[in-house]
Amino acid sequence: MRGKELITAMIISAVISCLALMTSGCSITLLKPEYRDNALLIAGSTTAIPYTRALADEFMKYNPGLMVSHNGGGSTPGLIAAKKGAIDVAAMSRDLKKNEDDEHTRGYLFARDGVAIVVHPENPLENLTENQVRDILQGRISNWGTVGGKNSPIKLVCLAEGSITRKMIEDMVMKGERFGKNHVTMESDTQAAGFVAANPDALGYLHLSELSPQVRAVCINGVEISKLTVLSERYPLTRSFYYVIYSEPGPNAEKFVKFACSEQGQKIIEKMGAVPVY
Amino acid sequence: MKMKKRLLFPLSACIAIFLITASAWPGKAPVSNSVHLRGSGAILPIAQAVAEAYMKEHPDRIITVTGGGSARGIKAVVDGTANIGMVSSNITGEASKQARERGIIFNKYTVAYDALVPVVNPRNPVSNLSMEQLKKIYSGEVANWKQVGGRDAPIVVVSLDVTSGSFEGWKNMVMGRESVLIPTACVFYQIVDARRHVAENINAIGYIALILLDGKIKAVSVNGIDANKQTLQRGAYPLTRTLNLYTTNAAPENVINFIKYFLDPEKGQQHVQKAGAIPVGQFIQPEE
């Protein structure tokens, strides 16, 4: 008698949960929803690629049979492709512009990060304006005396081409112009940090996640770099990353974005050195 | 027998709840320690200060703040990409309509009072304009500074995009709803860009939130009244407006908690004060 009632209970609960799950849109192996395709196409920002790759790898584990393909091309081409229906999700490393944000478009912030401008810990410099940062990186300011320091040349440290941090600085500060000719090139953020730590006249740029006590980050326009000032976007060299969905690209697109913004997705974002936004 | 039958349904329900929550992993709904604000460039500096202070006090919480203008703030609340829309005016009829169509009901929280201030280049000798003169300048009826006591020079009219809450406020309070902005006006999406244009152009006139005044532009009094804390609080300054946060009426608890913090006289309202706006408790409604 007891067994019979327990079985009835389980049957009733299974029915209730299946009904609830079907309406809530979660996917479980028992009730696999029909995929519109078995491919999800994501394209856009180059600097978002590492995040998308890591999220996609994990997402595919929970959606066997679904192929997530991700490409670069740039934020704007990615958005255009999404609006034309050529891809499912656009990855963007900037906010939508007002004329891009229409009633069919939804931009979901999934990460923020920032680039620090760093000097030797004994360098008394506390603050630079964005214009001064640009002038130093482009070689127009080459002496510490010009920005209130002592009369000695600035040792500019640059990251190698292909570096994500370098791409971010180029997007945010350089306005299409080149770095000053007089600089040393480092292969990684870690190496750049080491160089700045060992050279009292050095100035370099590092991803927020690579900051360590061996270097000092200067304030930009009076704002120090921190997780908080990046989340509030008050720090000027902050990058915001969005997944943008246009119209109805299908359930996979929505699920991927939801995953990116979920606790698990945001842990991946954090492990990659960005600031989680959920 | 009877007792066991009574237990049947609650037992089923418990198992059902367990199954539902267990299979909601992975990719479950975003955790509720985050609040996303979007919208008005005029409210932005205040919201950033309040967000950072809140996160310092609650290290496990995440608050993101993004600009884009009042209209985009409301759109983000409607399409679900933000929890709070920062709106420096009332929402437009268009936004209300879209919300109604989607079955969304807004809750509005006034978090500060500030003002719209007409501004000119520091080298412009004009220090006061009447409401009538401002209206005529923006419609193009008055096109030369000498007509309002200034130099013989054409007026460069600076305005904001239609999605800006500040433009909405200026249109309501100064231009008049039927009035049309002079077609040669320089229109900017971002308040800071409009501000820079006035700072760099000797014949320019613009309008800006009180809290965004800086030393590079000159505030002009309106009908002889300067915009400052005293004139705002007394209701004497004619271009006062509210700064508001909008949520849907289904906003979760953590969003409401942040808004409560924003409204707290000891917490969020201190940052309103520091920014140069008027905290909500300190505003005296002008007599009609």
- A130-174 pLDDT per residue, tens: 999 999 999 999 999 999 999 999 999 999 999 999 999 999 999
Any idea which of A77-91, A211-225, B7-21, B55-69 has the lowest mean pLDDT? B7-21
Residue among B119, B205, B197 at smallest CA distance from B155: B205
Q: Among B8, B65, B161, whose Cβ lies nearest the Cβ of A98?
A: B161
What is the average pLDDT across B239-251? 94
Phi-psi region of A250 (alpha: psi -120 to 50; beta: other; left: phi over 0): left
Chain A residues touching B47 at Cβ < 8 A? 232
The H or E element that residue A265 is part of is helix A263-271
CA atoms within 13 A on the CB side of B208: 28
3-state secondary structure of A11: helix
3-state secondary structure of B239: coil
Chain B residues touching A97 at Cβ < 8 A? 189
Q: Which two tokens stand for residue A66?
A: 């679904």
CA torsion B50-B53-B58-B63 (nearest 10°) is 40
* Closest residue of chain B to A18, computed from CA coordinates: B20
pLDDT surpasses 90 at A221? yes
* Closest residue of chain B to A261, computed from CA coordinates: B30
| Nearest-angstrom CA–CA distance, B126 and B220 | 7
In the block, tokens 């005396």 appear at: A145
What is the average pLDDT across B255-267? 96
Residue A29 is predicted with a pLDDT of 36
**Among residues of chain A, what percentage have pLDDT more than 70?**
87
- Considering the entire predicted model, what is its pTM? 0.84
Strands B106-120 and B156-160: unpaired
* Closest residue of chain A to B55, computed from CA coordinates: A228
Q: What is the DSSP string of A171-183?
A: IIIITTPPPPSSE
Distance from A274 to chain B by nearest Cα, in Å?
A: 14
Distance from A193 to chain B by nearest Cα, in Å?
A: 27
Residue among A80, A116, A93 at smallest CA distance from A206: A116
| Nearest-angstrom CA–CA distance, A220 and A224 | 6
Any idea which of A209-223, B22-36, B135-149 has the lowest mean pLDDT? B22-36
Distance from B79 to chain A by nearest Cα, in Å?
A: 7
Distance from B80 to chain A by nearest Cα, in Å?
A: 8
| Environment class of B247 (CB within 10 Å of its CB; exposed 0-12, middle 13-18, buried 19+) | buried
* Closest residue of chain A to B33, computed from CA coordinates: A278
Residue B149 is predicted with a pLDDT of 95
What is the average pLDDT across A238-253? 93
Tell me if B19 and A8 make a contact (CB, 8 A cut-off).
no
Residue B29 is predicted with a pLDDT of 43
What is the average pLDDT across B101-112? 93
Chain B residues touching A262 at Cβ < 8 A? 26-31
pLDDT surpasses 90 at A38? no
pLDDT surpasses 50 at A216? yes
Any idea which of A2-6, A70-74, B229-233 has the lowest mean pLDDT? A2-6
Tell me if B34 and A95 make a contact (CB, 8 A cut-off).
no
| Nearest-angstrom CA–CA distance, A228 and B29 | 23
pLDDT surpasses 50 at B245? yes
Residue B28 is predicted with a pLDDT of 40
| Nearest-angstrom CA–CA distance, B41 and B66 | 9
**ipTM of this predicted structure:** 0.84
Radius of gyration of chain B (CA): 24
Contact partners, residue B169, CB within 8 Å, separation at least 6:
B88, B89, B116, B239, B241
| Nearest-angstrom CA–CA distance, A223 and B67 | 17
Chain B residues touching A98 at Cβ < 8 A? 68-69, 72, 161, 163, 189
Distance from A105 to chain B by nearest Cα, in Å?
A: 9
Sorting pLDDT into bands at 50, 70 and 90, what band is A28? Answer: very low
B241 phi and psi angles, rounded to 5 deg: -150, 165
3-state secondary structure of A127: strand
Sorting pLDDT into bands at 50, 70 and 90, what band is B287? Answer: very low
Q: Among A1, A103, A277, whose Cβ lies nearest the Cβ of B34?
A: A277
pLDDT surpasses 50 at B27? no
Chain A with chain B: Cβ pairs closer than 8 A: 131
Taking all residues of chain B, what is their mean pLDDT, rounded to a whole number? 89
Contact partners, residue A261, CB within 8 Å, separation at least 6:
A108, A110, A277, A278, B30
**Among residues of chain A, what percentage have pLDDT more than 90?**
80
Give helix then strand counts, H and E, for chain B. 10, 12
Tell me if A13 and B13 make a contact (CB, 8 A cut-off).
yes
pLDDT, one tens digit per residue, over A46-58 is: 999 999 999 999 9
Q: Which two tokens stand for residue B157?
A: 């009219």
Sorting pLDDT into bands at 50, 70 and 90, what band is A15? Answer: low
Tell me if B5 and A264 make a contact (CB, 8 A cut-off).
no
